[in-house]
Amino acid sequence: MHPADPTDSGFADTPAPVTRREFVHGAAASAALLAMGGLSAPLAAMPGAMPAVAADRAAVLAQVAAQHDDTLRRLREWIALPSIAAEDRNYPQGPEHMARLAREAGFQHVEVVPTAGKSGVFATLDAGAPTWLAIYMMYDVKQYDPAEWSAPPLEGRIVEKAGLGKVLVGRGATNSKGPQMACLAALHAFRAANTKLPVNLVLICEGEEEIGSPNFRQIVFKPEVEAALKKCVGIIIPLGNQDPDGSVQINLGAKGVVELELVASGEKWGRGPTKDVHSSLAAQVDSPVWHLVQALNTLVKADGHTPAVEGFFENVRPLTAEQRRILDAAIPKRSEESAKRSLGVSRWIADEPWRESLVRLASQPTINIEGLVGGYTGPGGKTILPHRAIAKIDMRLVPDMTAKEALAKLKAHLAKQGFGDVEVNMTGGYDPTETPADSRLVKAMAATYRKVGVEPLLWPRLAGSWPGATFTAAPLKLAAGQFGMGHGGGAHAPDEYWVVEPANPKVAGMDGAARSFVELFYALA
Amino acid sequence: MHPADPTDSGFADTPAPVTRREFVHGAAASAALLAMGGLSAPLAAMPGAMPAVAADRAAVLAQVAAQHDDTLRRLREWIALPSIAAEDRNYPQGPEHMARLAREAGFQHVEVVPTAGKSGVFATLDAGAPTWLAIYMMYDVKQYDPAEWSAPPLEGRIVEKAGLGKVLVGRGATNSKGPQMACLAALHAFRAANTKLPVNLVLICEGEEEIGSPNFRQIVFKPEVEAALKKCVGIIIPLGNQDPDGSVQINLGAKGVVELELVASGEKWGRGPTKDVHSSLAAQVDSPVWHLVQALNTLVKADGHTPAVEGFFENVRPLTAEQRRILDAAIPKRSEESAKRSLGVSRWIADEPWRESLVRLASQPTINIEGLVGGYTGPGGKTILPHRAIAKIDMRLVPDMTAKEALAKLKAHLAKQGFGDVEVNMTGGYDPTETPADSRLVKAMAATYRKVGVEPLLWPRLAGSWPGATFTAAPLKLAAGQFGMGHGGGAHAPDEYWVVEPANPKVAGMDGAARSFVELFYALA
How far apart are alpha carbons B61 and B520 in whole angstroms?
Answer: 12
Residue A34's pLDDT band, with cuts at 50, 70 and 90, is very low
Other CB atoms within a 10 A radius of the CB of residue A394 amount to: 27
Tell me which of 3.30.70.360, 1.10.238.10, 3.90.550.10, 3.40.190.10 is the CATH number of domain B256-313+365-429: 3.30.70.360
Average the pLDDT over each of A133-142, A289-298, A465-474, B20-29 and give the range with the smallest value: B20-29
Measure the CA–CA gap between A107 and A127, rounded to whole angstroms. 10
Closest CA–CA distance from residue A426 to any residue of chain B (Å): 9
d(CA A287, CA A82): 47
List CB contacts (< 8 A) between B277 and chain A.
Answer: 9, 12, 343-345
Mean of the per-residue pLDDT values of chain A: 90
Range B360-363, long-range pairs (CB < 8 A, 24+ positions): B360/A283, B360/A284, B361/A280, B361/A281, B361/A283, B361/A284, B361/B6, B361/B7, B361/B463, B362/A283, B362/B319, B362/B323, B362/B327, B362/B459, B362/B460, B362/B461, B362/B463, B363/A283, B363/B318, B363/B319, B363/B398, B363/B461
Q: What is the mean pLDDT of chain B?
A: 90
Test B381 with A19 for CB contact under 8 angstroms.
Answer: yes
- The pTM for the full model equals 0.84
> Can you tell me whether residue A403 is helix, strand or coil?
helix
| pLDDT tens sequence across B421-460 | 999 999 888 899 999 999 999 999 999 999 999 999 999 9
The domain made up of A256-316+364-430 has a fold known as Alpha-Beta Plaits (3.30.70)
* pLDDT one-digit tens code per residue, A372-414: 999 999 888 888 999 999 999 999 999 999 999 999 999 999 9
Is residue A425 over pLDDT 70?
yes
Question: For a pLDDT cut of 70, what percent of chain A falls above it?
Answer: 90
| B344·A293 Cβ contact <8 A | no
| A391/B289 Cα distance (integer angstroms) | 10
Residue A59 has pLDDT above 60, yes or no: yes
Residues B320/A433, Cβ–Cβ less than 8 Å? no
Q: Does B466 have pLDDT greater than 90?
A: no
Instruction: Assess contact for B418 and B294: CB atoms under 8 A.
Output: no
pLDDT(B118) > 90: yes
C-alpha–C-alpha distance, residues A92 and A326, integer Å: 45
- Centroid of chain to Cα A284: 49
ipTM for the assembly: 0.85
Q: How would CATH label the architecture of A10-254+432-524?
A: 3-Layer(aba) Sandwich (3.40)
Work out whether strand A366-375 and strand A433-434 pair parallel, antiparallel, or are unpaired. unpaired
CATH 3.40.630.10: which residues of chain B? Answer: 10-254+432-524
Compute the average pLDDT of residues B95-102.
98
Q: Is the pLDDT of residue B17 over 60?
A: no
Look at residue A39 and tell me whether its pLDDT is greater than 50: no
pLDDT for position A493: 84
pLDDT tens-digit readout, A285-312: 999 999 999 999 999 999 999 999 999 9
CB pairs < 8 Å spanning A and B: 333
Model confidence over B227-238: pLDDT tens digits? 999 999 999 999
Q: Which of A392, A394, A397, A407 should we substitute to test contact with B (largest number of B Cβ atoms within 10 Å)?
A: A392
CA distance A210 to chain B (A): 13
| Contact (CB<8Å) A384/B370 | yes
Percent of chain A exceeding pLDDT 90 equals 82
| Weakest mean pLDDT among A235-249, B2-16, B124-138, B488-502 | B2-16
Would you call B375 and A372 a contact, using CB atoms and an 8 Å cutoff? yes
Q: Which residue of B has its CA nearest to A9?
A: B277
Q: Over the Cα atoms of chain B, what is R_g?
A: 24
Q: Is A6 in contact with B275 (Cβ distance < 8 A)?
A: no
Predicted confidence band of residue A518 (pLDDT cuts 50, 70, 90): very high
**pLDDT of B53 higher than 60:** yes
Local confidence band at A28 (pLDDT 50, 70, 90 cut-offs): very low
Q: Are residues B272 and A345, on separate chains, in Cβ contact within 8 Å? A: yes
Residue A121 has pLDDT above 90, yes or no: yes
The verdict on a CB contact (< 8 Å) between B344 and A281 is no
* Per-residue pLDDT, B428: 84
Residue A136 half-sphere exposure toward CB, CA atoms < 13 A? 26
Angle between helix A93-104 and helix A178-192 axes, rounded to 10 deg: 30
Whether the bond between B265 and the residue before it is cis, its omega within 30 degrees of 0, is no
Residues A429, A414, B364, B426, CA torsion sign: negative
**Helix ranges (DSSP H) in A298-402:** 321-330, 336-343, 354-363
Q: CB-based contacts of B344: which residues, under 8 Å, 6+ apart?
A: A266, A273, A274, A275, A277, A387, B9
**pLDDT score recorded for residue A20:** 29
Are the Cβ atoms of B375 and A375 closer than 8 angstroms? no
Query: Are the Cβ atoms of A371 and B357 closer than 8 angstroms?
Result: no
DSSP symbol at B98: H
Residue among A455, A330, A318, A407 at smallest CA distance from A6: A330
pLDDT tens for A82-118 read 999 989 999 999 999 999 999 999 999 999 999 999 9
What's at B104, amino acid-wise?
E
- Residue A50: predicted pLDDT: 66
Helices (H), A388-435: 403-416
Mean pLDDT of A441-458: 97
Residue A12 has what pLDDT? 26
φ/ψ (deg, to 5) at A229: -65, -35
pLDDT band at A467 (very low <50, low <70, confident <90, very high): confident
Residue A346 has pLDDT above 90, yes or no: yes
Q: What residues in B contact A278, CB-CB < 8 Å?
A: 6, 8-9, 11-12, 23, 464
Mutate to test the interface with B, among A143, A352, A370, A396 (most CBs of B within 10 A): A370
Run of H or E including A370: strand A366-375
Question: For an interface test with A, which of B7, B22, B30, B343 has the most A Cβ atoms less than 10 Å from its Cβ?
Answer: B343
Cβ pair B9:A275 closer than 8 A = yes
Residue-level pLDDT at B46: 43
Shortest Cα distance from B120 to chain A (angstroms)? 25
C-alpha distance from A20 to closest chain B C-alpha (Å): 6
Q: What DSSP assignment string belongs to A11-31?
A: GGG-SS---HHHHHH------
Nearest residue to B511 (alpha-carbon basis) of B165, B59, B63: B63
pLDDT value for A214: 86
Cis amide prior to B475 (ω within 30 degrees): yes
pLDDT at A401: 98
Tell me if A279 and B394 make a contact (CB, 8 A cut-off).
Answer: yes
Instruction: Check residue A363 and give its pLDDT.
Output: 97
Please give the average per-residue pLDDT across B223-251, as a whole number: 96
Q: Where in chain A is the domain with CATH 3.30.70.360?
A: 256-316+364-430
Residues of chain B with CATH 3.30.70.360: 256-313+365-429
Tens-place pLDDT, residues B169-215: 999 999 999 999 999 999 999 999 999 999 999 999 999 988 878 89
